[in-house]
Amino acid sequence: MEPSSVPPASVTPSWDVFPQQTLEPVDIAVLVLYFLFVLAVGLWVTGTVPCAPCARADFSLSQVGASLFASNVGSGHFIGLAGSGAASGIAATAYEWNGMFCVLVLAWLFLPIYIASGVTTMPEYLQRRFGGKRIQIFLAILYLFIYIFTKISVDMYAGALFIQQALHWDLYIAVAGLLAITAVYTVSGGLAAVIYTDALQTLIMLIGAVSLMVFSFIEVGGLEGLQTKYFGAIPSIRPENSSCGLPREDAFHIFRDPLNSDLPWPGVLVGMTIPSLWYWCTDQVIVQRSLAAKNLSHAKGGSLMTSYLKILPLFMMVMPGMISRVLFPDLVACADPEICQKICGNPSGCSDIAYPKLVLELLPVGLRGLMMSVMIAALMSSLTSIFNSSSTIFTMDLWKHLRPRCSEWELMIVGRVFVLLLTVVSILWIPLVQAGQGGQLFIYIQSISSYLQPPVAVVFILGCFWKRANEKGAFWGLLLGLLLGAVRLVLDFIYPEPRCGQPDGRPGLLRHMHYLYFSMVLGATTSLTVLLVSLATEPPAPHMISRLTWFTRGDALAGQEPAAGPGPAKEPLQLELSPAPESGSEGQGTLNSFLWSFRVTLLWLCGMERRQEGAESLPRAEPLPAVSLQEEPLVKHVLNINLLLCVCAGVFLWAYFA
């Protein structure tokens, strides 16, 4: 199929002369039939398989590897990486190839600790390692913010972008349509359907993506044709005497100038690794899939499989995005804000339409509809899972903490109202997603991650590999790190990055400190705080270390003491809702109440928590039977050899494209 032609540079183009491909009736029929199939599967599972999500997982290495890759790579990933490829070249691939190493770190270093400790969730690990409630509440609030900033609003925007390009709807009408279909999808057994159709959706998505990659490279004349034609992919309308709309000279390099580039190489090597470790080694979604493996060897094999699969995004997502710019420069690489607003509704740029544009223009009828349906279905399943997770976090970790005796009915109502509120906030956040980081969705996600995730990553790393780290050090490190990250996040939105051709009036801290460099500073600051406070306060109790660090993972279970909390002197304060002691006057009573609340807050911040008088220490539930850390010698040697080969392959790719 021939791509849409663009007017020559001598002609002044307008939005009306750009031919826009739409879905054919056959594509729409395929899309409808696919959704009916997914809903039918969900209804069948709901009616025939009791508590399917509750079944204990016992995954093989191939299932673990496919699940890890599918959890990481969704349709938003396709849109974001292809958009960054169209806008600035292959540099965004560094995030994927950084993940090649971090997923191996999970299997060889972090997973033995998690298995030995017998935990099933990451907040549970921190609870056992440090005790108290403060860190758990902190993480619950942080995860909700991360869901809003980098998951829900991003998924809504990505799905709406597909619908907008396919049907030419307004972006927010497309968002409303996506949410309506997601509601039907959820009510009709969507969560059950997700479990039984994720593998099918991932397989179809990969087949469609590989097919599209082949069509794209044929259209552009292979890799050599891309390298030649990319630098000529310039929109016909752009500001004169400006670099706006011009491809980057370093488009085919991952390592770029450390001072003036979009992804400086020191930040790529160090600053990028810190949030990447958070995602691959401490994020609940990823770690839970590895913990579901049959044994440690299968988990390692699954991580190796995922690591090899992470080679694909450069050729399957980033380069097709660059090809889309070559084929449709006036659309994908638009440099005039007014034209960009007409094309995609985003004056900052339209690079994020690169992948949907390829799907609509290059895939044959039928396969195009199937690819669109799988992409949108994956987005809906992601939204369904995120809504469920965020509702659980809010009700169980926050609301139940405020109202310990609330009923199940109250929790259900509060959870649904919170999801509704979360949806509204996420929709209101979409304009900031559009404008963030020059309109590049993937870079927007990574910048937010660099502000919020390094403190948590550092606390996990020190908790796992430094026995002296204690609750006070972890709490104050988290508090300081997240405050600094929140300040930078707010400043980024108060002083957004100027569009091409506009003067940069941002404060020097924003103008000269790249978000990857800020990630490095944030990680160092959090580490220093945890180190100093931990050394200045009492060491953790033995039961907070046994089987909870790398050096104690082999401790015998029989010697493990109950570790529901930090011991009698450090049980969380049970806050009563009764007023402060009465006094002679109403004003004095108010003052006493204020002083009582201030004292409670001060004690909580300082970690000087106490129990109520007469409160009995609750016995700690025994950990789930842990998978053995023992591995068969032959299997272990084969895995270690594959580890070495995989690391060498990653180093070679980095060096070749550096």
Identify whether 47 is part of a domain: no
Give me the domain span that covers residue 594.
Answer: 573-608
The residues that bridge with 59 in the sheet, in sequence order, are 293
Question: Do residues 459 and 591 share a domain?
Answer: no
The pLDDT confidence band at residue 602, using thresholds 50, 70 and 90, is: low
Over residues 32-59, mean pLDDT: 60
**pLDDT (0 to 100) of residue 266:** 92
Q: What are the residue ranges of helices labelled H in 147-220?
A: 153-167, 171-187, 190-220
**pLDDT (0 to 100) of residue 3:** 46
C-alpha torsion 80→83→87→89, nearest 10: 80
Identify whether 16 is part of a domain: no
Over residues 330-346, mean pLDDT: 85
Question: Do residues 511 and 603 share a domain?
Answer: no
Judge whether residue 579 has pLDDT over 60: no
Identify whether 194 is part of a domain: yes
Q: Which of 171-180, 300-309, 437-446, 616-625 has the lowest mean pLDDT?
A: 616-625
Q: Who has greater pLDDT, 14 or 464?
A: 464
Question: Do residues 324 and 187 share a domain?
Answer: yes
Judge whether residue 115 has pLDDT over 60: yes
**pLDDT (0 to 100) of residue 62:** 66
Judge whether residue 2 has pLDDT over 70: no
Judge whether residue 596 has pLDDT over 60: no
**pLDDT (0 to 100) of residue 22:** 67
Question: Do residues 578 and 505 share a domain?
Answer: no
Question: Do residues 497 and 580 share a domain?
Answer: no
Judge whether residue 302 has pLDDT over 50: yes
**CA atoms within a 13 Å half-sphere pointing along the CA-CB vector of 496:** 16
Identify whether 580 is part of a domain: yes
Judge whether residue 520 has pLDDT over 90: yes
Question: Do residues 414 and 493 share a domain?
Answer: yes
**pLDDT (0 to 100) of residue 613:** 38
Question: Do residues 179 and 296 share a domain?
Answer: yes
Distance CA 329, CA 150 (A): 28
Question: Do residues 435 and 479 share a domain?
Answer: yes
- Which residue bears the tokens 């998951």? 151
Write out the H or E segment, with its range, that includes residue 273.
helix 273-282
- Which residue bears the tokens 């310990």? 404
137-151 per-position pLDDT tens digit:
888 888 888 888 888
Q: Which of 122-131, 397-406, 567-576 has the lowest mean pLDDT?
A: 567-576
Contacts of 524 (CB under 8 A, 6+ apart): none
Judge whether residue 340 has pLDDT over 80: yes
Distance CA 381, CA 192 (A): 10
**CA atoms within a 13 Å half-sphere pointing along the CA-CB vector of 161:** 35
Judge whether residue 533 has pLDDT over 90: yes
Question: Do residues 596 and 540 share a domain?
Answer: no
C-alpha separations of 197 from 60, 155, 191, 201, 202 in Å: 18, 19, 10, 6, 8
Counted domains in the chain:
2
Identify whether 357 is part of a domain: yes
Looking at mean pLDDT, say which of 153-157, 198-202, 324-328 comes out highest: 324-328
pLDDT > 70 fraction of the chain, expressed in percent and rounded: 76
Judge whether residue 362 has pLDDT over 60: yes
Which is nearest to 303 in space by CA: 318, 317, 291? Answer: 291
Over residues 96-116, mean pLDDT: 93
Judge whether residue 50 has pLDDT over 70: no
Which is nearest to 171 in space by CA: 182, 159, 184, 183? Answer: 159
pLDDT > 90 fraction of the chain, expressed in percent and rounded: 27
Identify whether 471 is part of a domain: yes
SS3 of residue 256 by DSSP: strand
Identify whether 445 is part of a domain: yes
**CA atoms within a 13 Å half-sphere pointing along the CA-CB vector of 489:** 23
The pLDDT confidence band at residue 538, using thresholds 50, 70 and 90, is: very high
Identify whether 642 is part of a domain: no
Instruction: Provide the sign of the torsion angle of the four alpha carbons 387, 285, 481, 273, taken in this order.
Output: negative
The burial of 109, by beta-carbon neighbours within 10 Å (0-12 exposed, 13-18 middle, 19 or more buried), is given as middle
Judge whether residue 233 has pLDDT over 50: yes
428-451 per-position pLDDT tens digit:
888 777 766 556 778 888 888 899
**pLDDT (0 to 100) of residue 40:** 74
Q: Which of 202-206, 503-507, 612-616, 636-640 has the lowest mean pLDDT?
A: 612-616
The burial of 368, by beta-carbon neighbours within 10 Å (0-12 exposed, 13-18 middle, 19 or more buried), is given as buried
**pLDDT (0 to 100) of residue 477:** 95
Which is nearest to 21 in space by CA: 496, 510, 364, 462? Answer: 364
Question: Do residues 587 and 533 share a domain?
Answer: no
Which is nearest to 492 in space by CA: 431, 436, 433, 440? Answer: 436
**pLDDT (0 to 100) of residue 198:** 63
The burial of 165, by beta-carbon neighbours within 10 Å (0-12 exposed, 13-18 middle, 19 or more buried), is given as buried
Q: Who has greater pLDDT, 537 or 384?
A: 537
Question: Do residues 539 and 596 share a domain?
Answer: no
Q: Which of 12-16, 55-59, 90-94, 633-637 has the lowest mean pLDDT?
A: 12-16
The pLDDT confidence band at residue 562, using thresholds 50, 70 and 90, is: very low
Chain centre distance of CA 267: 19
**pLDDT (0 to 100) of residue 53:** 40
**Domain of residue 523, CATH code:** 1.20.1730.10
The pLDDT confidence band at residue 624, using thresholds 50, 70 and 90, is: very low
SS3 of residue 264 by DSSP: strand
**pLDDT (0 to 100) of residue 423:** 82
Q: Who has greater pLDDT, 521 or 4?
A: 521
Q: Determine contact, residues 628/296, Cβ cutoff 8 Å.
A: yes
C-alpha torsion 121→127→128→131, nearest 10: 180
Over residues 624-634, mean pLDDT: 67
Question: Do residues 384 and 426 share a domain?
Answer: yes
